[in-house]
Amino acid sequence: MQQPMSEIHQRVQQLREQVRKASYAYYVLDAPVISDEVYDRLYRELQELETKYPELISPDSPTQRVGEKPVSQFVSVRHNIPLYSLENAFNIEEFATWQERWLRMAPSEPVAYVCELKIDGSALALTYENGILVRGATRGDGIAGEEITQNVKTIRSIPLRLNLENPPPSVEVRGEAFLSLAVFEQINQERSREGEALFANPRNAAAGTLRQLDSRIVAKRRLDFFAYTLHIPGRDDTDVARTQGESLEMLQEMGFRVNPNRKLCRSLEEVGEYYDLWNTERLKLPYMTDGVVVKINSLALQERLGFTQKFPRWAVALKYPAEEAPTRVEAVTVQVGRTGTLTPVAELLPVQLALTTVSRATLHNSDRIAELDLHIGDTVIVRKAGEIIPEVVRVLPELRPANAQRFQMPAHCPECGEPVVREAGEARTACVNASCPAILRGSLIHWASRDALDINGMGEKLVQQMVDRHLVNSVADLYDLTAAGVASLERMGKKSAEKLVAAIGESKKQPWARVLYGLGIRHVGSVNAKILSERFSTVELLSEASPPDISAVYGIGEEISLSVWQWFRVPANQMLIERLRAAGLQLAATVEEPRGKEKKLLFAGKTFVITGTLPTMKRDEAKALIEGAGGKVTGSVSSKTDYLLVGEDAGSKLKKAEELGITLLGEADLLKMLEG
């Protein structure tokens, strides 16, 4: 029976509201209201209805956050109101000077500031028309920026629709897009695995991410946003809010994430206390702040004071000094990464920086060492860029010991002893021995990583042992491992060994895109692997493709295509592919049947029994899902039962099913099957 369109429309609206509320609770309030499974279920239903009835898609639907096809460049847009930057003060004395200046212009005004944290990210200007997000732009030079609406839409804490009953025709919101330190670290780890240059700090990483031409990559990067300025053009700002404090509250009501760490200060002393407090507190935050922004609270006074050529007169950034400290380089060691890159690392006399002890700092490559003119024994200044990666900023040559030696990049790999190579025009020195243990360790860890073959329990320590004991000499060897062999490793019980071998076996089911990513071809990250696997549906097609064939794929550049082509020209790599094929890995895309049809057939002819209490679903809901996918649900277990869906406190049905050897499923398994 055909469902009336009005009902479908209503259901779509209802789903959107539910998804929006759940996502607001999760991303803005940081207080989830439903489980991930339920969220996924609602989201998927919405997505399916929108696929089936594209005429129902609206720009503010929560499904519009996943990114779109890459663009070739961004369009420049003029800001309706310029984005000013802030004058800096580096201590409370400088702040006092700033305060005296505005007090001379408005001597009878009481002192009242809102102190906010200065988030170290990238400023964004958002435009809402009739409550719907229509434009997002970078700061640019303050007068004009780049239109990056597609990227902005992927930021979950930015509402696609304002939470206002009667939204004004136009609303402008400004704030800071940023990356949490955890995500920043993750991105850098990934880049290091791909052999790409690291971002020096979360600010650069956020700015770089916002300017990504492929919004699908942005969607994966989990940017976040704190709103701090509200403008409603055409209305006197004071109609809306009288103070900056009220503006922040309004932003919060409209659905934005507003930083909770802020304070109304009525004197220089109070500002000083707040500034001192956050100098240490900020190091405990999950994102980076580099100061306190002090803003005059009264919007009327802000208006009266206005702007200089460059800055508002009513706000100032009270910044913290960068965390730097002198220490001595005791030695330089060399690390070998998965792609063979040799990275020199300074071993330092331990020094306190930003609440942690720093004893090592990356020196990046030999060009950087030459630029620093670094000698072993030098006193250097180290900085924790982004409070994360310690870096040597400069050398103090006047403190150099008389006989100090320059560091020389080794001519042989410190791990395997084979000669290293440095290609002309590249800063990178690399080991090219395919059986170098460092490269092998790195390849195995990468192969097992979450976005690749996702092998649970295959951590660094275990990999180290497997390689040291020659249990595994290539990724393909993993598929020959036996539980007895694995159990011979230190601290490895029989149970864990069996589990690991089973997890490795499971990985054979991972799709071709993940296998391709797992191969660890230079410059082929998980997104590129996905794109390539869609265009080249089998490993043969990809390995026979010429560099121009590969770079003809949308989103794939020449550097990537050359790297892929070269990889397949190496005989050892061809052999690896053959062994993976023999082991049963997926080297071709599975043919996708048209959606909907495939869903209906998934459980066709299968009989289910449900028993016990499921974690989130009611039995009727589970039954509806199974039947929707073509399955049948019966009341009792028999030899005709294919699956038993088991919840808590299951009784005799479970026992019987176990006796009959019937496949048992949990709620999560069922959802996974339906999803896959």
State which of residues 63, 64, 85, 474 lies at the interface with ligand IVH (CB under 6 A).
85
CB 146 to ligand IVH: min, Å: 15
What's CA 16's distance to the chain center, in Å?
Answer: 24
Closest residue to ligand IVH, based on beta-carbon distance: 123
Is the Cβ of residue 242 or residue 632 nearer to ligand IVH in the bound state?
242
Rounded Cα distance between 330 and 360, Å, is 10
Rounded Cα distance between 453 and 463, Å, is 15
Treating both helix axes as pointing N-terminal to C-terminal, what angle do 667-675 and 619-628 enclose, rounded to 10 degrees?
Answer: 30
State which of residues 26, 39, 84, 568 lies at the interface with ligand IVH (CB under 6 A).
84
What is the total count of residues that contact ligand IVH (CB under 6 A)? 14
Tokens matching residue 14: 């209802």
Q: Is 68 within 8 Å of 219 (Cβ atoms)?
A: no
CB 297 to ligand IVH: min, Å: 13
Measured torsion, CA atoms of residues 615, 620, 625, 627, in degrees rounded to the nearest 10: 140
Enumerate the β-bridge partners of residue 341.
Answer: 430
Is residue 47 within a helix (H) or strand (E), and if so which, with residue range? helix 36-52
State which of residues 42, 115, 119, 348 lies at the interface with ligand IVH (CB under 6 A).
119
The reply to whether 630 sits near ligand IVH by the rule CB under 6 A is no
CB 153 to ligand IVH: min, Å: 20
In one letter, which amino acid is 185? E
Site pattern 302..341 for ligand IVH (x: CB under 6 A)? ----------x--x-x------------------------
Between the CA of residue 62 and those of 59, 169, 221, 449, what are the distances in Å?
Answer: 9, 22, 17, 29
State which of residues 89, 123, 187, 476 lies at the interface with ligand IVH (CB under 6 A).
123
> Residue 649's CB: how many other CB atoms inside 10 A?
9
Q: Which of 174, 179, 331 is nearest to 247 (CA)?
A: 174
The reply to whether 414 sits near ligand IVH by the rule CB under 6 A is no
CB 633 to ligand IVH: min, Å: 55
Between the CA of residue 118 and those of 181, 293, 575, what are the distances in Å?
Answer: 15, 5, 54
Is the Cβ of residue 84 or residue 320 nearer to ligand IVH in the bound state?
84
Point out which span in 84-92, 263-271, 455-463, 637-645 binds ligand IVH (CB under 6 A).
84-92
The reply to whether 86 sits near ligand IVH by the rule CB under 6 A is yes
DSSP string, 416-431: T-PBEEE-TT-S-EEE
Is the Cβ of residue 219 or residue 293 nearer to ligand IVH in the bound state?
293
HEC letters along 308-370: CCCCECCEEEEECCCCEEEEEEEEEEEEECCCCEEEEEEEEEEEEECCEEEEEEECCCHHHHH
Tokens matching residue 300: 């009327």
Burial annotation 369-398 (CB, 10 A radius, 16+ → b, else e) = beebebbbbbbbebbbbbbbbbbbebbeee
Phi, psi of 353 (to 5 degrees): -145, 130
Is the Cβ of residue 248 or residue 358 nearer to ligand IVH in the bound state?
248
Q: Which of 118, 153, 220, 319 is catalytic?
A: 118
Is the Cβ of residue 312 or residue 547 nearer to ligand IVH in the bound state?
312
Rounded Cα distance between 659 and 352, Å, is 62
Is the Cβ of residue 85 or residue 379 nearer to ligand IVH in the bound state?
85
Point out which span in 114-122, 488-496, 514-522, 587-595 binds ligand IVH (CB under 6 A).
114-122
Site pattern 125..164 for ligand IVH (x: CB under 6 A)? --------------x-------------------------
When computed from its CA atoms, the radius of gyration of the chain, rounded to whole angstroms, is: 29
The reply to whether 118 sits near ligand IVH by the rule CB under 6 A is yes
Point out which span in 115-123, 448-456, 497-505, 510-518 binds ligand IVH (CB under 6 A).
115-123
The reply to whether 102 sits near ligand IVH by the rule CB under 6 A is no
The reply to whether 391 sits near ligand IVH by the rule CB under 6 A is no
CB 238 to ligand IVH: min, Å: 17
State which of residues 43, 74, 184, 228 lies at the interface with ligand IVH (CB under 6 A).
228
Is the Cβ of residue 120 or residue 214 nearer to ligand IVH in the bound state?
120
Rounded Cα distance between 173 and 128, Å, is 8
CB 307 to ligand IVH: min, Å: 8
The reply to whether 176 sits near ligand IVH by the rule CB under 6 A is yes
CB 151 to ligand IVH: min, Å: 16
Is residue 126 within a helix (H) or strand (E), and if so which, with residue range? strand 122-129
Rounded Cα distance between 367 and 354, Å, is 28
The reply to whether 116 sits near ligand IVH by the rule CB under 6 A is yes
- The answer to whether residue 118 is catalytic is yes
State which of residues 265, 293, 329, 637 lies at the interface with ligand IVH (CB under 6 A).
293
CB-count exposure of residue 47 (10 Å: 0-12, 13-18, 19+)? middle
Is the Cβ of residue 86 or residue 455 nearer to ligand IVH in the bound state?
86
Phi, psi of 408 (to 5 degrees): -115, 130
Site pattern 20..49 for ligand IVH (x: CB under 6 A)? ------------------------------
Q: Which residues are part of the catalytic machinery?
A: 118
Give the interface with ligand IVH as residue ranges (CB under 6 A).
84-86, 116, 118-119, 123, 139, 176, 228, 293, 312, 315, 317
